[in-house]
Amino acid sequence: MRTRSPIRVLHVESGQEWRATRDQVRLLVEALMDVPHVRQAVATLEGSRLAVEAEELGIPIIPLPWTTDSDPRALRTLARVAGTGWEVLHAHDSQALRLLLYIGALEGSNPSIVASRRIGGRPPARWKWRRARLVLAVSHGVRDDLLRSGVEPERVWVVPNGVDVRELEPQRPGRIREHVGASPEHALIGSFAALEPDRDHDTLLEAAVRVCAARPDARFALLGDGSQRGRLEGRIERLGLGGRVCLPGYVPDARLSMVDFDLFVLPARSVEMSSSALEALAVGVPLVTTGARSDERFEGTGIEPVPPGDPEALADALLGLLADAERRAAAAWDARRFAETHGLSSMVEGTLAAYEAVARG
């Protein structure tokens, strides 16, 4: 029997902050350990969560001293490693892609870069995505954004996020509610999303004003951190949402208590499915998402779509679900079934196919 030649993959991830979607990197490298012909290593911020978790899995780590977008120390370290015989360089975020392209330009080479695009909106630095060999878009909406930025259609593959249901068991109810000060009587609406401009927390806060006025028992817990925290804290106070909306930051093992939420919100600006949203669906929490397109099909998914930038529509969707226990129960059933179609295997298979295409030319 013919033995397949190995594919050597260097994963590069900046580790500047831990988005829920960046759990996908760890899930991917762990799953690829079971693929005999894949050899891999991870280059990421020294001491980051990804570095610690990958090292615990026994995956070789290249620690990068990364303090700014284009830290020259990280550039030098990565340049020494990137030119040592990798068939695939996988850039898992835009900062990683920038450094890999710099290295290719300095060396006069055309590196075999696979780049992942996991957030919506047209990229600000469009040239980067046009120079990757393949770009893996997390959704068709993200793919459309890349095409509008000039990336050739044949070089954009849609590889949705995956969820490993086994990691969500057993759920431990009560931990998130205790952390955010919500009692069992409160209707708790949650979100896991980086507090960054690509997320639409402003629309969510405006919707929260309407929801809290109609439902005094409603509470919002918006988990995540980022550059917009200070501005959003000020906006919460100006909107009179103090005590109703909290920004608890990163809560350890929060994904093991997602059943604490009555509803989950994905404040997206364009259609996509984050890993945290998939995890909420997997444990039976109905999802309300913004950024939906009119041609998307959500019936029977446990997902309630609303247009982007429409706080009234978002509030109506949340209030409608909170008011109808039977509808919430049906949505919870549909949510679990939908999450089953986004298993980890499909994400791994799609990514591996991209590696094969790049490595085999």
- Phi, psi for residue 144 in degrees, rounded to 5: -60, -40
Write down the domain spans for the chain. 7-162+343-359, 165-340
Question: Taking CA 110 as the corner, what is the angle to CA 109 and CA 115, rounded to the nearest 5 degrees?
Answer: 135
Does domain 165-340 sit in CATH 3.40.50.2000? yes
Return the CATH number of the domain spanning residue range 7-162+343-359.
3.40.50.2000
| Beta bridge partner(s), residue 263 | 189
pLDDT (tens digit, 9 = 90+) per residue, 323-351?
999 999 999 999 988 888 777 888 999 99
Distances in whole angstroms, Cα of residue 68 to Cα of each of 15, 96, 126, 227, 232: 11, 11, 20, 14, 24
Which region holds residue 208: left if phi is over 0, alpha if psi is between -120 and 50, else beta? alpha
pLDDT (tens digit, 9 = 90+) per residue, 98-120?
999 988 888 777 789 999 998 77
SS (H, E, C) 337-350: HHHHCCEHHHHHHH
Answer for the pair 338, 281: CB distance below 8 angstroms, yes or no.
yes
| The pair of three-digit structure tokens given for residue 270, joined into one six-digit string | 């364009």
148 CB contacts (<8 Å, ≥6 apart)? 122
Instruction: Name the 3-class secondary structure at 316.
Output: helix
Output the average pLDDT for the chain.
Answer: 88
Peptide bond into 153 cis (omega under 30): no
pLDDT (tens digit, 9 = 90+) per residue, 18-65?
565 567 898 899 999 999 999 999 999 888 888 888 999 999 999 988
CA–CA gap between residue 162 and residue 138 (Å, rounded): 10
Instruction: Find the mean pLDDT for residues 296-310.
Output: 84
Q: What is the pLDDT of residue 295?
A: 46
pLDDT (tens digit, 9 = 90+) per residue, 203-248?
999 999 999 999 999 999 999 888 899 999 999 999 999 999 999 9
- Min mean pLDDT across 127-131, 210-214, 297-301 is at 297-301
What is the pTM (predicted TM-score) of this model?
0.77
**How confident is residue 296, by pLDDT bands cut at 50, 70 and 90?**
low
Q: 7-162+343-359 and 165-340 share one CATH topology?
A: yes
